[in-house]
Amino acid sequence: MDSEPKTPQVLEFDIRGQICPASLLIALKEMNSCKDQLRNGEVQLVIKTDNRDATITIPDAVENMGYAVNVQRVDDYYVIVVEQGH
Amino acid sequence: MKLGERLRGVVDNLSGGGETQRLVAENDLLRERERQLHEYMRSKVNQLLRVMGTLPLRAEELDDKAMRELDPIGIVADSFAQVLDHLNTINEKMKLANDEIQAILTAANVGILVVDAEMKIQAFNPKLREMFLAAGTDVLGSTCNQVLCGQDVPPEDCTFAKIMACKIGLQRQEWALRGHHYDVAAAPIKNRFGEVTHVVLVYNEVTERKQMMENLQESEEMFRILLENSRDMVQGVTPDGTFLYVNRAWRQALGYGEGDIDRLTIHDIIHPDCKEHCLGFFQTLMATGKGGVIDAVFITRDGTTLPVRGNISCSFKNGKPLVTCGIFSRTDESGQCQ
């Protein structure tokens, strides 16, 4: 019998004010620290940034690492959601 | 050594000045080593960041102490380990997909050819070799027009050229080559910029099918001539009573032109006194398939009665009546339905 998919725990990081490459390094550091939980879908990372470059560099890196990523603009900043890859 | 210098050395030793100089020199050396180490670290960090597709670290953004504490090399190394894991997973999936494609290509009963944008052959399956190529010939890298069409210049109606021009898949019916005929389906493969990098061409030989269709058409034409020139009245009627076919003798006897037939039904030409008998016969025929001889009375276009005798049969498809075929001739009897 298939088990119900669990709702992932959301870990939120606000890196507004940081610019690349620092914003990318911080995002990578957080992903590395919970890579196993990200990989099996237990955790979802939500990164808030106001650096436009980061909306390209972070998703590129995230996809290369095999995770799924979604970028949305909210007011005057961006929300990057990183979760288990498909 | 002169006496003065020796005395200065003794004084320095007594006051600790020599040790101080040594320590200062050692400290300068260590500072220089640390500077070189930070410079090396920063260059390696920047190299890794470039690979990650981002900007180099600026000294004002992250000083040497902060850089050591953040450990960007460790962060990027951990990320690279995940990138490599992901690539390994992708490679395994791609290998599986490649094996599947190879199996499909080998098993396919159609010829499959892959050419690049310069029309050079990149891959083909065993069936294509069987269809077009001599055993053992190496044609990879040769142009498609040379290998298949046997021409140095692509033909005017070249399917590859059409694909390159329109950039969408297309199908071509009955392409002829050296006495054989092929249905060709072609599709482009595009890169992320939408440029066509390869074209896949699929050849299905239809020579036998084309020959059979031609034979069938000839046969149909022969039967059409036979029926049209028959002195008997021939009709084909669908289960709903409309006429599928009537021959010239039928039209002449009943006074209708070819253009009238689509509007007629069997009910229009059967005499009212005969209708119950005839329709009953048709119902039995379509229900049981049992045909036979029938006497009936038709009504011509101008209202004249036309006593006929005919033989009717019914063809079926999937157990359902498809069409009743009747061949009638005039009788001299007074119009009794039997």
Name the most confidently modeled range: B53-57, B59-63, B197-201: B197-201
What confidence score (pLDDT) does residue B316 get?
93
Residue B181 maps to which CATH number?
3.30.450.20
Asked whether the beta carbons of residue A61 and residue B57 sit closer than 8 angstroms, the reply is no
What confidence score (pLDDT) does residue B291 get?
86
Q: Which of B44, B75, B91, B93 to mutate to test the interface with A (most CBs of A within 10 A)?
A: B75
Q: Confidence class of residue B110 from pLDDT cuts 50, 70 and 90?
A: very high
A9 vs B14, which has greater pLDDT? A9
| Residue A43, domain member (yes or no) | yes
Distance from CA of B205 to the nearest CA of A (A): 41
Residue B166 domain boundaries: 109-206
Percent of chain B with pLDDT over 90: 66
| Residue B193, domain member (yes or no) | yes
What confidence score (pLDDT) does residue B151 get?
86
| Residue B211, domain member (yes or no) | no
Give me the mean pLDDT over the B99-128 stretch.
94
Contact status, residue B298 vs residue B254, Cβ threshold 8 Å: yes
What confidence score (pLDDT) does residue A83 get?
94
Rg (CA), chain A: 13
What confidence score (pLDDT) does residue B11 get?
67
pTM: 0.59
Kindly give the pairing relationship between strand A77-83 and strand B111-116.
unpaired
Q: Is the pLDDT of residue B124 over 90?
A: yes
Distance from CA of B60 to the nearest CA of A (A): 12
| Residue B77, domain member (yes or no) | no
Q: Confidence class of residue B19 from pLDDT cuts 50, 70 and 90?
A: confident
Q: Which of A15, A29, A57 to mutate to test the interface with B (most CBs of B within 10 A)?
A: A29
What confidence score (pLDDT) does residue B14 get?
67
Residue A60 maps to which CATH number?
3.30.110.40
Q: Say whether both B50 and B116 belong to one domain.
A: no
| Residue A24, domain member (yes or no) | yes
Q: Confidence class of residue B1 from pLDDT cuts 50, 70 and 90?
A: low
Give me the mean pLDDT over the B31-43 stretch.
89
Give me the mean pLDDT over the B219-236 stretch.
94
Contact status, residue B297 vs residue B271, Cβ threshold 8 Å: yes
Element (H, E) at B236: strand B233-237
| Residue B224, domain member (yes or no) | no
Burial class (CB in 10 A: 0-12, 13-18, 19+), A62: buried
What confidence score (pLDDT) does residue B311 get?
95
| Residue A4, domain member (yes or no) | no
What confidence score (pLDDT) does residue B247 get?
95
* Residue after which a domain boundary falls, among B39, B70, B101: B70
Give me the mean pLDDT over the B174-191 stretch.
93
Q: Is the pLDDT of residue B55 over 90?
A: no
C-beta atoms surrounding B72 within 10 Å: 25
Rounded Cα–Cα distance for residues B158 and B119 (Å): 11
How does the average pLDDT of chain B come out, rounded? 90
| Residue A3, domain member (yes or no) | no
| Residue B81, domain member (yes or no) | no
Q: Say whether both B173 and B129 belong to one domain.
A: yes
What confidence score (pLDDT) does residue B187 get?
96
Helix (H, G, I), strand (E, B) or coil at B205: strand
C-beta atoms surrounding B264 within 10 Å: 17
Distance from CA of B190 to the nearest CA of A (A): 22
| Residue A65, domain member (yes or no) | yes
Residue A69 domain boundaries: 9-83
What confidence score (pLDDT) does residue B228 get?
93
Q: Confidence class of residue B334 from pLDDT cuts 50, 70 and 90?
A: low
Q: Confidence class of residue B45 from pLDDT cuts 50, 70 and 90?
A: confident
**The tokens of B263 are what?**
């509007």
Q: Confidence class of residue B150 from pLDDT cuts 50, 70 and 90?
A: confident
- For chain A, the domain total comes to 1
**The tokens of B190 are what?**
């595009």
Contacts of A31 in chain B (CB under 8 A): 79, 82
| Residue B89, domain member (yes or no) | no
**The tokens of B125 are what?**
């399956």
Q: Say whether both B193 and B285 belong to one domain.
A: no
Q: Say whether both B276 and B198 belong to one domain.
A: no
**Number of A:B CB contacts under 8 A?**
59
- For chain B, the domain total comes to 3
What confidence score (pLDDT) does residue B152 get?
86
Contacts of B60 in chain A (CB under 8 A): none
Contact status, residue A7 vs residue A43, Cβ threshold 8 Å: no
Q: A85 CB near a chain B CB, below 8 Å?
A: yes
| Residue B86, domain member (yes or no) | no
Helix (H, G, I), strand (E, B) or coil at B69: helix
Give me the mean pLDDT over the A14-20 stretch.
87
Q: Which whole-number Å values give the CA distances from B166 to B155, B162, B197, in the listed order?
A: 17, 6, 13
| Residue B84, domain member (yes or no) | no
Give me the mean pLDDT over the B270-284 stretch.
90
DSSP character at residue B133: S
Burial class (CB in 10 A: 0-12, 13-18, 19+), B331: middle
pLDDT tens digits, one per residue of B57-99: 877 777 888 888 888 889 989 999 999 999 999 999 999 999 9
B22 vs B217, which has greater pLDDT? B217
Q: A31 CB near a chain B CB, below 8 Å?
A: yes
